[in-house]
Structure formats: C-alpha cells, structure tokens
Amino acid sequence: MAKSNIDKKLTLEEYEKKYSKPENVKAAKTFLFIFSASIGIIIFVCLFFLVMRLFEIHKIAGYVGIGVAAIIYIFVYIIPIIKIKNTKAFITNVDQSNASKAQKYNRELRNSIADKMIDLKANTEGVGWYSDELIGKLAIARQTKNDKEVKNVLTSIYDKDVRLASNKMIRDHAFKVGITTALSQSEKVDTLFVAAYNLSLIKDIVFLYGYRPSDAKLAKIYQSVIVDALIAYGVGNATGSMATTAVTKFGGKAVESIPFLGTALGTIIDSVAQGIINSSLTVLIGFQTKKYLKKEYHLQDILDEIELDEEKELESEQEMVESLKEDITKKAKKKDLVAA
C-alpha cells in the first residue's frame, strides 16, 4: 500500500482511463446474491444429509440433529454473510459525475475504520492485531481531525500490523481445514467444513481490515468458495481409490501379505492428500481476499490525492463573488459620497 509519486500526480481523466472500468452495478449485485445463496445451499445440503444419517441411526438423534444443524447454519452461514454484507466498501470506480462524492465518502469511511480500530484496541482484551504505537498516533490524528495523518497512519497499520495478522489468520484457518478434512473421511463433512471455514476466513479478514471488497470483487471471492467446496467433495471421491491402488502397486508382496495393510496405508495417504489440497485452497481464498482489499485501498488513496476541477471551479466561483462584493461596495460608497 506504499504511495507512488507518479500515482499522486494523476488527473481525474488519467485515473478514469487507468483504473475505472465500465461496471454494471445491478449485475454485480445479482451475481453477489447468486453466489452467496449458492454457498448457503451447499452448507444446507451437507447439513441435511448429515441429519438424515442421524435419523438412520435413531429418530431421537435425528431430531436433536435438526436443532444442532439449525444452530450451525446460523453461525457458519447467516451471521458471516450478514456481517460481510453490512461492512462498507471504498468507492474507487469513479468518473466526473461521482468523483467528488466518492472522495468525501472514502474519507468518512477511513475515519470510521480508524475509530473502530481505536475502540477495539481500547475496549477489547487479547486483541494484538494493531500495535500500541500506531493506534496512539491514529487516536491523536482523529482528535486533531487531521485527515491526511489518519490516512498515513492507516497505511502504516495495513502495511505492518494487518499484513502480519492476516497472514496468521489465513494460516490458522487453513490448518483447521486441513486437519478436519484429513480426519473426517466424509465428502459431505469435507465440503461443509471447507465452505464454512472459508466463509469465516473472509469475514475475519474483512473485520480485520475494517472494510470489504466491492460487490464485483466479493462475488468473485464467493465464486471461489463454491469452487473450493465442490473440489473438496470431488477430492474425497477421487483420491481414495487412487491412493489404495498406488500403495498396493508400489508396496508389492509386502503389502499383499498383511491383511488390510494396503487399505490402511491408502486411507492415510488419502487423508493427508485431502488435508493438503483443502488447506491450500483456503490459503488461496485468503490471499485473494487480501489482494482485492489492498488494491481498493490503494485506489482510494490515489483518488484522494487528485485535485478535482470541480473544487477549482468552486474556488473560482467564491473568489469571483468576493471580488464582486468588494467592487459593488466601493461603487456604492463612491456614489454615496458624490451624492453627499
């Protein structure tokens, strides 16, 4: 997120040409809804089949499973989706008609993010994401209403504290996904955990940064979550038989002489393979989310440095009005003196 001297000197026309692209807002929102709903359907279907499995074991277990599944669905899907949706995004795709409003909106959003970081550090125990030194500087900048300093300190926080915290967050989620899917031995459980953990990771990264990607970018991230969940389901089916066959083929007589050894080793290899693949997919989701967030913060930073023609015209208008006031006042006084 380091600033570029070249980027600072861009005019609005140059910014439009370089960074703004034609965007169908309704289409972006539609795809965002479709992909977010698809994630919900995937999680619902996985929970449905798991509950049906409980009914096969015992009716009471099935009814208990319905209640547990409902709670799981609320916490792993409904709450994350709502939290992500309710988080604001920077406006970076602008033109002459909305550039000034976008600058004002982005400035207010930066201040809001700064206030949340300060409040979180002051009132929440055990949160080590942001350093005391930078949060202290941020608090001073907000108290003095120094918008430029707020932006500078936020940039430092994102480049240092948030970068380290987000990487740790991604690794922790990926490790949990890897271990869970390696041990589950169930395609439905694998799919459920990959979808749920990836959605949770997106929510946590968005909370850490304080803003979310635009609708179009968020739709792409949700699309990746869907693809990863489907891959997790397919991996479970594909790797099992392949692993057992490979162990039997390369282990030779040593494996054939011990009953079930080939199957056991195949299962272990299959589990490890599933865990590694699914954790790697989670890492990709995390870094995709970070990439979009970093890019949009960088763009709003560039946009903020552009001196808009509208502001120049407003200054010229005010100068002209003041000049007219002086001239009219002088003329009126001169006329009064002559009349007297």
In the chain, where the domains are located: 11-305
Can you tell me the distance from the alpha carbon of 302 to that of 3, in angstroms, rounded to the nearest whole number?
8
Phi/psi at 61 (5° precision): -60, -35
Contact 205, 169 (CB under 8 A): yes
Question: Exposure of 198 by Cβ count < 10 A (0-12 exposed, 13-18 middle, 19+ buried)?
Answer: buried
Question: What pLDDT is attached to residue 36?
Answer: 97
Q: pTM higher than 0.95 for the full model?
A: no
Selection from 51, 76, 43 nearest residue 190 by Cα: 43
Can you tell me the distance from the alpha carbon of 242 to that of 42, in angstroms, rounded to the nearest whole number?
26
Question: What pLDDT is attached to residue 137?
Answer: 95
Q: Could you give the C-alpha distances from 148 to 8, 15, 261, 305, in angstroms and in order? A: 14, 20, 66, 10
Question: How many CA atoms lie within 13 Å of 231's alpha carbon, on the beta-carbon side?
Answer: 17
Can you tell me the distance from the alpha carbon of 253 to that of 330, in angstroms, rounded to the nearest whole number?
111
Selection from 188, 193, 195, 173 nearest residue 39 by Cα: 195
Contact 300, 92 (CB under 8 A): yes
Residue-by-residue pLDDT tens, the chain, 340 positions: 555 444 446 888 889 888 888 888 899 999 999 999 999 999 999 999 999 999 999 999 999 999 999 999 999 999 999 999 999 999 999 988 889 999 999 999 999 999 999 999 888 887 789 999 999 999 999 999 999 999 999 999 999 999 999 999 999 999 999 999 888 878 899 999 999 999 999 999 999 999 999 999 999 999 999 999 999 888 655 544 444 444 344 444 444 444 444 444 456 666 788 889 999 999 999 999 999 999 999 999 999 988 876 544 444 555 666 777 777 777 766 665 555 5
